[in-house]
Amino acid sequence: MDAGADGWRTIMARPLSRVLGVDATRMRSHMEDCCRRVSFFPLVRELSNRCKLPQAIVTVNCDIFSMIVAPHYRLQDRYDPIITSWQSHTLDKAELCDLAMKRWGPSFSREQCLLIDNRLDCVEAWRKRGGAAYHFRNETDLAERFAGLLGTED
């Protein structure tokens, strides 16, 4: 999954352009535009912004996430670390969580690190390793469940 010198342009734009019969430059431009128009769940973003605890992003994503999405939305200002599958060379979300914990240092245990994920298989895999996990189904449920927890401000 090495992006190489051409980065995500090679990984995503060229193959998609061939499949769809569209010019690769046009495909790349469209992909960049779409990545700059991501819609976030407002209640989730509010809860995340209010949370005083350390937060990481662990995501199964290609390099366009790191090169376009994260910088455009300044995700690094709120989330440290940001662990991606393409950089870590694994699609295993539980492994990505362990990598985030390693970056935080030895003072964190799996039981203290909550994975919030919309994929039940990822939630179950993290739990099998002894981690805490929440299966995200919708933002209202998440906001109600965690509004008074996780060191949030009133």
**Res. 8: pLDDT tops 70:** no
Per residue in 128-148, pLDDT (tens digit) is 999 999 999 999 899 888 877
How far is residue 32's CA from residue 54's CA, in Å, rounded to a whole number?
A: 29
Sketch the domain layout of the chain as residue ranges.
1-37, 42-146
Q: For residue 127, what is the enclosing H or E element?
A: helix 120-128
Q: Is the pTM of this model over 0.85?
A: no
Q: Tell me if residue 154 falls in helix, strand or coil.
A: coil
| Residue-level pLDDT at 15 | 84
| Bond into 81 cis (ω within 30) | yes
**Res. 149: pLDDT tops 70:** no
**Res. 9: pLDDT tops 80:** no
Four-residue CA torsion sign, 114, 149, 66, 11:
positive
Domain 42-146 has CATH 3.40.50.1000: yes
Summarize the confidence of residues 16-28 as an average pLDDT: 88
Per-residue pLDDT band for 16 (boundaries 50, 70, 90) equals confident
| Residue-level pLDDT at 79 | 96
Percent of the chain scoring above 90 in pLDDT: 56
Tokens of 41: 């769940």
**Res. 55: pLDDT tops 50:** yes
104 exposure class (CB count in 10 Å sphere: 0-12, 13-18, 19+): middle
